Structures are given as structure tokens and as C-alpha cells.
Amino acid sequence: MVILLVKRGDENQFLYETDVEKDVDEVVKDITAIFNGRLKITRMCYEMEELWKHGTFLPLEMQGLTEEQIKELKLEDPWAKRCAPPNAVFAKDDMGRRCGLAPAQNMQDIMKKACEDAKEFISKKHVDLRKCLTQKDVARALDELRGATKIVFPAGLPPHDPVRMELDNVEDLTGTHAAKEVIDPNRACLWACGKKFIGGNKLRDHLGKNNKTKVTVKLCCNSEGAPGREPIMSEEERKQLMLHAYRRQEEWKKLEQDEDDHYLDSKWADGQNLKRAFHGLDNISWKPSLKKM
């Protein structure tokens, strides 16, 4: 099986296992789904942290308003009490985005554990561990988050809550930075060795017939153009090379500071060394006597 190291820009994302007989379009679609799924889980974990701290999302017309403004406009959140978790505690949201009815501490711990597990399923550390990522791993992480949400909020979440919208796949990312990170599957493409994988081809048309190889590929949009080539040496190799050059430079500085006849102090330059060796006078040390006079 071919192992693809998928990168976005210069950053490692995950390992993907495939076969040289697979269609390029199928591989690109699968890799894009995994990439976008990882982004979804990251967004959900962020929103779930706000959810367990400050409760459900306020309606859009109430967000950012002070309590006085809400009373003056006679606005009310119809979902706050209906979706409140059991034994809810009040925790005001200073950002004015959530209702403030947060779950109890033991319920918060459930959501925290779910987020930690979900992040672990899609962690970039798997690249170093040589573990390949699949859509099943992404689905498993989503199921973990969905299950924790149902446990802590048995009445469900409001339809406008970001966590529920993510779970229902109806999230609206328009005008957000997250929208720029998501890649449209219909515009996605792969690059390797400075060449673009052409749709309709097989992987073997670009990687050869060797099915036991590892290739670094970069995931891009068609509108982005060719990505930068991989550096000749890694960051660690570059650091070692610079360290070696620094050591050589320091050695040359020491040699320049030494006098030309400095070698005369060496043992091999002593003309009487052989004579002393024959008379057994080599390696003789002495010290003055400490006997009292």
C-alpha cells in the first residue's frame, strides 16, 4: 500500500493509506473529506468549551446586548430553560453570546473528556506514530462529541446553537476565518514533486507502479496554483549543519590565536624524550618535603 503524507502548506496534517490502482478523483475526495472533518471537530471542541462554561447559544437578535437593553426591547430566549441541562448553574457570559445556564461540574467533566478523546482521534501526532487516518476515525470523533452532548443536554440544543448546527451539517461559516480553511471537494487537488495529480488518471500514472512507497503530497485548491516545493533538508538537519559550521569556525579561531611554535610544547617535539625513556627517568614527579626542621 502507498502511504501519502498529506500536508497543507508546510504543515503536516495526517497519513493516508491507499493503492496505486485507485483513481485520483477518489483519493482527492477522500483526503479532502478527512481534512474538512478534522476542521469540523476542531471548531466543535472550541464551541463545546463555551457550551459547558456558559450554556446554550442566544438567539442572534439578543447577542451582544446588555441586560438593560434586553429588558427594554422585551426580548426573551425561548430555548434557554427548555434546553437547560439538569441541575444547571448560572455562569454569566461576558461576551453576551450564551444564556449562562451551564451544566454542573460532573457534567462539564464529561464534555471535557469527550473533547480530549475527539482531539486524540485526529491528532497530528499520528504522523510521528506512523498511524494512518481514515474517515472512520473522523466519524468516531464526531460520535464521541455527539454522545457527550446528548448526555449533558438531554433536551437537546437550540437549532441555532453552533454545536448542533455542526452535528446537523448545516453550519454557516460565511464571513469567518474558518470558511477560508475549508476546502471545496470539487476544487481540491493534490501536488507532489512539483506536479499536479490530474483527474481521471490512476495514482500509478503519477507515482509509478511501486505499491510500497511513501510520498509527500500537498492538498490545495485549483485556484491557489502550485504550492512551494519541499525543502532539501529538514529543520533538524539544517540546525545540525549550522551547529557543525559554528564549531568549525570556533576551531579555526583557536588555531589562529596559537603561536607558530606552539607545537614545541608537545611531548613528541622534545629531543631528550628518548634519552630519558632509556634511563628510566620518564614520568618522574617530586614535591618538597614537609618534614619539620
Helix (H, G, I), strand (E, B) or coil at 263: helix
Helix (H, G, I), strand (E, B) or coil at 11: strand
Consecutive H or E run containing 191: strand 188-192
The one-letter amino acid at 27: V
Closest-CA residue to 148 (of 175, 119, 170): 119
pLDDT digits (tens, 9 = 90+) for 96-128: 899 999 999 999 999 999 999 999 999 999 999
Output the CA–CA distances (angstroms, integers) from residue 12 to 136, 147, 273, in the order listed: 20, 29, 63
Alpha-carbon gap, residue 293 to 273, rounded angstroms: 36
pLDDT digits (tens, 9 = 90+) for 19-47: 999 999 999 999 999 999 999 999 999 99
pTM over 0.95: no
Alpha-carbon gap, residue 119 to 75, rounded angstroms: 37
Q: CB–CB of 189/28 below 8 Å? A: yes
Q: CB–CB of 24/206 below 8 Å? A: yes
Which cell numbers hold the place of 246? 559554528
Q: How confident is the model at residue 172 (pLDDT cuts 50, 70, 90)?
A: confident
pLDDT digits (tens, 9 = 90+) for 68-105: 888 888 888 899 899 999 999 999 888 889 999 999 99
List the chain domain ranges: 2-224
